[in-house]
Structure 1
Amino acid sequence: MRNDRTIKWLILLIPTLTIGLWEYIRHAFLLPYLSMELGNLLAPFIVLAVTLTLVRSLFARLEQSQQALQREKGTNAALEERERLARELHDGISQSLFLLAVKLDVLDEMKIDGPVKELATGLRETVRVMHEDVRQAIANLRLPPSPAAAAWVVPLRELLGETAEMSEAQADFSWSIPDVSLSDKEKVELHACLREALINVRKHANATKVLVVGEADGFGGFRCAVEDDGKGFSGDPLQSPGRFGLRMVRDRATAMGWNFLAERRGDWTIVELRKQGGAAS
């Protein structure tokens, strides 16, 4: 802020100082050689030349400083919002899931058998997975975003590793999309879609191989996919009960103008997002 104030004062003072210095030099040294009319004519051109050099560079530095300040404010606002969301997740959903798990513990202690017992076991597993997802989301929100190039794909690689570890599956992460070719909004939406697809694999697939692929087409487009050799699905997966995650991925992709595909190819289940080269996001 102090530096910006100095630059503003220099922008105001330089033209005045230029005129004063010119008048001093003209009267002290150039008066015998330079007429009053010619000196008055040269004065505005001298001020213009100084403005186009010194003052213009000062304006550029001031603009850079303001842009850096806006970026810092934006980063601080994003960190505050992430912390707020983390608190809301912890105080709301996380606590509710914990209470639900406690109630399921009470249900387990009751002498029940048959379908009710099976339902309680299924509910317990669902609550456990949801609680893990919420805890991971809270941890991710409280980590400061890394300025390193392509740092946003690191959590996807880690989630792929966790998915493979839980399923005792082989994992492969192949990513060749240049980071600069994606807008911030595209990164956010791709992260959300691929994360949901990976969670879907972890919950339902029982796969032995899981792949995450990101390929650029060379024309500004890309293909991203999560592929696994698990049990897959029959029919239209978007119409299957409980497939809310895939419907969310489809809706996000549609909103971004991307093509969405979820299908079975041989032994592989593929959830794919594709942006055509030159398409606006």
Structure 2
Amino acid sequence: MNERAVRRALLIVPAVVVALFELIRHTPWVLSLLPMEASNWLTAILAGLVTALISRRLFARLDALHDEIAQARERELVASEHKRMAEKLHDDIGQTLFFIGVQLNHARKKLPARHPAGVHLEEIQEALREVDDELRKTILDLRPGIGDSVDEQTWKTHLEQFATGFGAQVVIAGEAPELAPVAWPVLAAICREAVVNAVKHGAASRVFLTWTQAGRRWELTITDDGQREESWDRAQKEGHYGVALIRQRAAFIGAEVRFERTLTGLRIRLTAVRSTGDSVSRRRRVLSRRIIAGFLDEPKVEP
């Protein structure tokens, strides 16, 4: 029964039921069994029960609409805050780094060839370029688009485009679980970090994302075809920002993360239990507040 039929039934059925009951209760044999005062109370109770029974579907739809509106407001608020943070990073820190880089380049050119100070300036420039790269990655994390993602397809398309920009290919296998909308941009940030690590430190050309499910438990495995072990060595560094950031983001969606050594480098396993009902709503609200507070984009410090 669709909503229009429910609304019509809500107007017609209670009236018909009450009318029939009124006809029946005024018959002599009912009056002899049921006093008039008691039958009046019974009429009110019967009308309330019939109305509640018919309107259950409308109430369920109303609750669903309320949840959709709340999710839309959360996504809009998160996207707006991300955009503001990205603009601030670009206009303030990004331009400052560019100015410093230009000044260092001018200073290095004024020095004689192979001058010790020139070597130090070149090292500083290299470190500055790495900081600038990480800043651009952070700004990309904050750009509108994936932050509004609520489904698997948008997540998949975003990662494929991101990997293409690094000259790599993302291969996704398996069926993704049904996740809370806020979890998708967090997973996208984790996968982007894994792609950058595989390409930059493992010389990988393909990154494999594999979904597996067993009941309510799901697992996302990230591997690559890199030919060096530097990825594993870097992952073992205590406090390395990439590993720490992946752990933090995984914790925000209630997932456990494990880093395993393979013949070609590093395997990342994300494991979690799919939440349902009120737990999803509570976790979504907590995640939204954390994202807005900037916990997903803490400063990255290279050891």
TM over 0.5: yes
Q: CA deviation at 1:228?
A: 3.6
Superposition CA RMSD, Å: 4.1
Q: CA deviation at 1:227?
A: 1.5
Q: Does 1:270 align with 2:266?
A: yes
Pick aligned residue for 1:57 from 54, 57, 60: 54
Q: How many aligned residue pairs are there? A: 259
SS of the residue 1:240 aligns to: coil
From the superposition, tell whether residues 247 and 262 of structure 1 become closer, same or farther in structure 2 (CA, over 3 Å).
farther
AA in 2 matched with 1:275: T
Contact 1:215 1:223 in 2 (8 A): yes
Q: Does 1:138 align with 2:133?
A: no
Q: Which runs of 5+ in 2 are unaligned?
A: 277-282, 284-303
Q: Deviations over 1:115-153 (max 9, x none)?
A: 2242243134324423432342232x3567245554333
AA in 2 matched with 1:210: R
Q: Deviations over 1:161-218 (max 9, x none)?
A: 222x2xxx5x2412313332x455654543332221112234433x252222213144
Q: Deviations over 1:48-102 (max 9, x none)?
A: 5554444322143124213312321331133123212320231146521221111
Q: Which runs of 5+ in 1 are unaligned?
A: none
Partner residue, 1:213: 209
Pick aligned residue for 1:260 from 255, 258, 261: 258
Q: Deviations over 1:16-71 (max 9, x none)?
A: 99657744x459xx64x655234647666665555444432214312421331232
Contact 2:147 2:185 in 1 (8 A): no
Q: Deviations over 1:231-269 (max 9, x none)?
A: 332874344388310232245446735241142x33x22
SS of the residue 1:221 aligns to: strand
Contact 1:177 1:216 in 2 (8 A): yes
Contact 1:232 1:269 in 2 (8 A): yes
Contact 2:14 2:51 in 1 (8 A): no
Cα distance in 2 for partners of 1:65, 1:47 equals: 25
From the superposition, tell whether residues 202 and 242 of structure 1 become closer, same or farther in structure 2 (CA, over 3 Å).
farther
- 1:103-252 correspondence to structure 2 within 5 Å: 103-110=100-107, 111-112=110-111, 113=115, 114-139=118-143, 141=144, 145-163=148-166, 165=167, 169=168, 171-180=169-178, 182-184=179-181, 187-205=184-202, 207-219=203-215, 220-233=217-230, 236-240=233-237, 243-252=240-249
Contact 1:150 1:179 in 2 (8 A): no
Contact 1:97 1:131 in 2 (8 A): yes
Contact 2:163 2:195 in 1 (8 A): yes
Partner residue, 1:36: 31
Contact 1:259 1:274 in 2 (8 A): yes
Q: Which protein has greater RCO, CA pairs closer than 8 Å, 6+ apart?
A: 2
Cα distance in 2 for partners of 1:277, 1:144 equals: 22
The percentage of aligned residue pairs carrying the same residue is 14
AA in 2 matched with 1:151: T
Cα distance in 1 for partners of 2:15, 2:275 equals: 52
